[in-house]
Amino acid sequence: MTQSKYIQDLLHKTHIVEAHSISSLMVYNCKLSKFGVDLFSNPTLYFSVVGAQQYATLTRPEVSFIVNIVCQFMAKQMESHWTVVK
């Protein structure tokens, strides 16, 4: 079972198809908070992308941890959360 087309479409949707890959899924010691003023301007995009990432965890269990973390901020998304989502 593969989701390469699904993930490619997700990369296009977030405009990061040309981004370089990194060896780790999340910056070490990255602290996210629900407090702050840098609110994300497009909550619908955040919901859509995080939901798509949840679906992708079916075949990519190594991303489950980080997807779970960003799901905790669905009520108040900030630019720092969006950076982690991408």
Q: Tell me how far apart the alpha carbons of residues 47 and 83 are, in angstroms, rounded to a whole number.
A: 14
Provide the angle, in degrees to the nearest 10, between the axes of the packed helices 43-56 and 4-13. 160
| N residues, the chain | 86
Provide the angle, in degrees to the nearest 10, between the axes of the packed helices 43-56 and 64-71. 150
Q: Give the pLDDT score at 12.
A: 82
Residue type, 67: V
- Number of Cβ atoms within 10 Å of the Cβ of 5: 8
| Share of residues in the chain with pLDDT > 70 (%) | 84
- The pTM score is 0.70
Give tens-digit pLDDT for 23-62: 666 655 677 888 888 898 988 988 988 888 888 888 778 7
Domain ranges of the chain: 4-85
11-13-17 Cα angle (round to 5): 30
